[in-house]
Amino acid sequence: MQIKRIDDYRWQVEQSGLMRVPGIVFTSARMLDQLREEEAVNQVANVATLPGIIRASLAMPDIHWGYGFPIGGVAAFDWESGVVSPGGVGYDINCGVRLAATDLQFEEIQGRVRDIVDALYHHVPSGVGSTGSVKLSPKDERKVLSQGSQWAVDQGFGLDEDIDHTEDGGCLEHADPEVISQRALERGRNQLGTLGSGNHFVEVGVVEEIFLPEAAEVFGLRQGQVTVLLHSGSRGLGYQVCDDFLASMSKHVRTLGIELPDRQLSCAYIQSEHGQRYLRAMACAANYAWANRQILLHRCREVFEETLRISPKSLNMRLVYDVCHNIAKKEEHLVDGQKKWVCVHRKGATRAFGPGHPALSHDYRDTGQPILIPGDMGTASYVLVGTDQAMLETFGSTCHGAGRVLSRKAAMKRAKGRAIHRELEDQGVLVRWTGRGTLAEEMPEAYKDVSQVVEVVHGAGISKKVARLRPIAVVKG
């Protein structure tokens, strides 16, 4: 496989074999050396073989190996003649990040951080198979799948203004609960309002540096401010939806005459019954994830108010934005100078719509979309903003995080004999965790340097740095 340098931030995977388009990897020379040793670049090439793919198979600098598509992969397919692939969305449908800002300054809570993280750990259910206090009847669960964030707000979990600052208003309207399996419904019934495990977290942070003051002001961010960043998805329901459709599509794709380099790329034509059923089921899982994060943010508000004994007005914990990572969406983009409807797969990638896009709330129409890039427990997280360049080049997409460099097994081996929580506390980060082995699997060394990842997308112009956040307390599943 030939990889040709385009510039400091772009590398082209030359078209060969079954590839219908080239691959474009956004990375640096330093990170590319590591990528060459992995399977992820081969996956970029494999995605380029799928019918209806437009322009290029794209990968962000946080790219690493995934199921079928690489994590960090972006691909757009012609809405009429292209395919949709569950491997291009991932198992944790609408795994995403939500950032809230407060009126608190770090100095005001410096002596209470331990109390806050202990309370968050106690009141925000986390871990494998965790269940929450929100018990859904079959009827209510179907409403969650249809209505997303709005259902949660209507039940008293949060504020109406949260909806405006959630991607797609926290709801994909083509969701159809009738296509969801009973097993998926069972798995989702008791998990709403739970964090989950692995790389999911609630992080209390402080705005450490402002890079773009104008955008930061619009987003309501200022130096020294206390923030809350949470990362979670569609829990067991989303996993089961993916599992169900991978099973059916792996059989269906064999009837289509599509030559696949990897059976994990099982797919269906978008306009087929199989394709439409998957998109309707995926939308249900996406809506579940948005409702889940809405409830989690509400729990965080309650914890801060009760622990610090302050009023909602004094806390003023407001949602900056909520972005999703694992999704496939019908969007209109410029292709060869003409507007065209496409299905954009973003797997471990974030939407990065630029200024003026009609999908953005009025608050952010002039600046572009807020983008949230979490790091790991011991480094920084970033807030970026979408750009016109992203609209032209990446179908309005950018990176989603740091990206793994060590498998969970390799991380466990490297962490053997170490007290990761003490190492983090020495760096000023208090950590609470549920899963056995979680801290070892998720230790900072398991991930790329998030600052290097962000520099690539900033340098390439597909998103711009707005602010850097420093973690001070983290709850992990």
Taking alpha carbons only, the member of 69, 63, 59, 60 closest to residue 89 is 69
**The pLDDT of residue 374 is above 90:** yes
Residue 32's pLDDT is: 85
Q: Which of 231, 400, 421, 458 is catalytic?
A: 400
* Whole-Å CA distances, 455 to 35, 57, 449, 459: 17, 21, 10, 6
Kindly state the percentage of the chain with pLDDT values over 70: 100
**340 phi, psi to nearest 5 deg:** -145, 140
Taking alpha carbons only, the member of 53, 70, 192, 203 closest to residue 134 is 192
* Element of type H or E holding 205: strand 201-210
Taking alpha carbons only, the member of 427, 414, 447, 466 closest to residue 201 is 447
Using CB atoms within 10 Å of the CB of residue 42, give its burial: 0 to 12 exposed, 13 to 18 middle, 19+ buried. middle
DSSP 5: E
Residue 475's pLDDT is: 95
C-beta of residue 342 within 8 angstroms of C-beta of residue 82: yes
* Alpha carbons within 13 A on the beta-carbon side of 367: 22
Q: Copy the structure tokens of residue 253.
A: 């794709």
Name the H helices within 253-352.
Answer: 273-308, 312-315
Please write the tens of the pLDDT for every residue from 254-313: 999 999 999 999 999 999 999 999 999 999 999 999 999 999 999 999 999 999 999 999
**The pLDDT of residue 461 is above 90:** yes
Please write the tens of the pLDDT for every residue from 392-442: 999 999 999 988 878 888 888 888 888 888 988 888 899 998 876 788 888
Residue 34's pLDDT is: 77
CATH of the domain at 260: 3.90.1860.10
Residue 436's pLDDT is: 66
**The pLDDT of residue 44 is above 70:** yes
Q: How far apart are CA 42 and CA 368, in angstroms?
A: 33
**452 phi, psi to nearest 5 deg:** -65, -40
Provide the residue range defining the domain that includes 286: 3-476
| 123 in catalytic set | no
User: Angle of helix 273-308 relative to helix 138-147, nearest 10 degrees?
Assistant: 100
Q: Give one word for 257, left, alpha or beta, with left for phi > 0 and alpha for psi -120 to 50.
A: left
Residue 247's pLDDT is: 96
C-beta of residue 179 within 8 angstroms of C-beta of residue 378: no
Residue 42's pLDDT is: 95
**228 phi, psi to nearest 5 deg:** -130, 125
In this predicted model, which residue has the larger pLDDT, 72 or 33?
72
Into how many domains does the chain fold? 1
Average pLDDT over residues 191-195: 94
Whole-prediction pTM: 0.96
Residue 80's pLDDT is: 98
C-beta of residue 74 within 8 angstroms of C-beta of residue 411: no
Residue 419's pLDDT is: 86
Q: What is the mean pLDDT of the chain?
A: 95
Residue 84's pLDDT is: 98
